[in-house]
Amino acid sequence: MAYTSLEACLLHLEQNHQLVRIKEEVDPHLEMAAIHLRVHESGGPALLFENVKGSKFRAASNIFGTLERSKFIFRDTLSKVQRLIELKNDPIKALKNPLKNISTGLAALKALPLKNPVSRPVLFQKIQIQDIPQILHWPMDGGAFVTLPQVYTEHPERPGIMQANLGMYRIQLSGNAYILNEEVGLHYQLHRGIGVHQTIANKKGIPLKVSVFAGGPPAHTVAAVMPLPEGISEMTFAGALGGRRFRYTYRDGFCISTDADFVITGEVFTGVNKPEGPFGDHLGYYSLQHPFPVMKVHAVYARKNAIWPFTVVGRPPQEDTSFGELIHELAGSALQAEIPGLKAVHAVDAAGVHPLLLATGSERYTPYAPAKQPAELLTIANHILGKGQLSLAKFLFITADDTVFINPQHIENFFTYLLERIDFARDVHFYTNTTIDTLDYSGTALNSGSKVVLAAYGEVKRRLATSVPLCFTALKGFYNPQLVQPGILCLQAEKFTDYDTAVKAFEILNEQLIHADLKNANGEEVALVIVCDDTGFTSTSLRNFLWVAFTRCNPSHDMYGIRQFVQYKHWGCNGPLLLDARIKPHHAPAVETNPTVEKKIDRLFEKGGSLHGILKH
């Protein structure tokens, strides 16, 4: 069904036992976020906070908390949008089956935005920033943030909604040096459409007009996170997914989403930045305080009985994990259609998405050659790393097979297949002094670090160790070896101090293993060694291994190898690959909940509380 508002969606979820109302007064300072985290972790329902301390407005969270709930919300339009994307990739299908695609064409009509000068629910009242629920998510956060914003900007040279950009860039409402009610912080990262718009505005010497929408039909929120190609309006996608045209008007030169619950309008001026953050982010660490653009607030609007939507991000999986799963459902094979030879790609959520990509491709360049080695795979890898936000990937593991499909969604099997075949002397390719995810602090500076492609193709080169080889059990400076899975071993070491000391330690490790028998009693080998602060934690689960190994490593600085060498500027090794995944002094701290707050919210889950009995055990 086509929801006309956020409240209409929430009421329908409640009718279907997928929403719980919290009637008790709840403090937006850490309590609301802690409640959300506990309910989401248990796979619980959406939440409607009816009594937010210090605000007259209600708030809602965990709306998209599971893929199943997201698919329920968009049950009437999901298949049609999938079909639209499929037809865009292969328009010949539409010509071959015109009658079959009539409903898809009708759905496309919903994609056309509708200028709406009459019905203006969001313009019901003018409010101030301080009236919005001031939600502090994590103890070290710099203030209250908008975590489900729809940030709207128009192209300064080609104004209008069809050339506009809608993105989810976090907004800091209070704290730091922001003047309350007059300024908010606008944080956006690399490869975001808003950056193109601000660059043009700066060149023209004019401020960039910005509208921040919150709430409204749920399709609007999803549209803000959908990775659409540059030049395609997210508002058209919102209309198609929501089954209802995106309605808008203009007030004082600013675009207004008339179905939104809240709208903040303002301007960003050239060179006007202020410190933004810290903020507990989706890699599981705090993004630290850095200068970002300031938005000078023009006006704030709210509809009658408006509901403030929010989510909480932190170490994955969180609610944004479900967004990723929904995008995968919607996009299907769209990326494969754009990159020849690519069969599948998986941005690994447990590793923070951008730090780790797994991909499967084709290898068709030299079928006549008896020796099998990566060739087309490297072309595909370069294409992936040149594609929008995929270009932020830090580790890209890519493989191919002639007979079976290696699914990168099956992470353990994928690593097994690749590590059995990779030639570390040939198949490790570095990109140094380049960009990485803004939120990834493993690099040398903000947005700066390195990348590595590890490609594997051909016959099995090794059997992976299912027990720890003897040579790893009595090492100087490295101890407590634990297997994560076949072929992947964790070693514990003293805390990292500096890179000079680290290089010396790994030289000593190499000296101890260079002439050792690296196989176990069964002739099986370790292919990948993770040096970490706590092998017990890292080896406990695949989730822990992925988080530690790939969020704490800068490839150019933290990768080593047994019997490593450099030949004609190519790095390789003739033994196991080593990753130094210890916490470094320049890393951001990991997010942790507050024990006092955790104890305080227990009242809601006890007998008589609004959330009693909803947690799944």
Buried b (16+ CB within 10 A) or exposed e, 39-67: bbeeebbbbbbeebeebebbbbbbbbbbb
pLDDT of residue 230: 55
Contacts of 350 (CB under 8 A, 6+ apart): 316, 317, 542, 543, 546, 547
pLDDT of residue 458: 93
Structure tokens at 102: 């009539």
Q: Which residues of 142-162 are buried (b: 16+ CB within 10 A; e: fewer)?
A: bbbbbbbbbbbbbbbeeeebe
Residues written for the chain:
617
CB-CB contact of 149 with 169 (8 Å)? yes
Which amino acid would we find at residue 419?
L
DSSP 217: S
CA 403 and chain centroid, separation: 32
- Reference 406, options 483, 364, 344, 472; nearest CA is 344
CB 486 within 8 A of CB 528: no
* CB-CB contact of 47 with 347 (8 Å): no
The residues that bridge with 353 in the sheet, in sequence order, are none
Confidence (pLDDT) at 497: 97
Residue 254: helix, strand or coil by DSSP?
strand
Can you spell out the DSSP letters for 133-168?
Answer: ---B-STT-SS-EESS-EEEE-BTTB-SGGG-EEE-
- pLDDT tens profile 212-258: 999 999 999 999 998 876 556 799 999 999 999 999 999 999 999 99
Could you tell me where the DSSP H helices lie in 262-408? 319-331, 334-338, 376-384
The Cα 381–Cα 140 span in angstroms is 38
Reported pTM: 0.93
* DSSP per-residue letters across 174-188: SSTT--TTTEEEE--
The two three-digit tokens of residue 254, written as one number: 């600013």
- Closest to 315 measured CA to CA, from 541, 548, 490, 537: 548
CA–CA distance, 198 with 276 (Å, rounded to integer): 18
Interatomic CA distance for residues 579 and 71, integer angstroms:
39
pLDDT of residue 374: 94
Q: In what order do the strands lie in the sheet with 58-61?
A: 19-22, 46-49, 58-61, 307-309
According to DSSP, the β-strands at 342-347 and 356-361 are: antiparallel
Helix (H, G, I), strand (E, B) or coil at 322: helix
In tens, the pLDDT along 127-153 reads: 999 999 999 999 999 999 999 999 999
Residue 362: name the closest of 385, 343, 335 by CA.
Answer: 343
**Both tokens assigned to 395:** 């580790």
E strand spans, 64-170: 114-115, 125-127, 145-146, 150-153, 165-167
DSSP 425: T
Residue 589 corresponds to which tokens in the numbers above?
Answer: 């701290």
- State how far the Cα of 154 lies from the Cα of 168, in Å rounded to an integer: 15
Number of Cβ within 10 Å of residue 253's Cβ equals 10
Strands 528-532 and 488-493: parallel
Those residues with Cβ within 8 angstroms of residue 238's Cβ, 6 or more apart along the chain or in another chain: 166, 217, 219, 220, 222, 223, 246
- Residues of the chain under the 70 pLDDT cut: 87-109, 117-119, 190-191, 229-232, 616-617
Cα 233-342-346 angle, rounded to 5 deg:
75
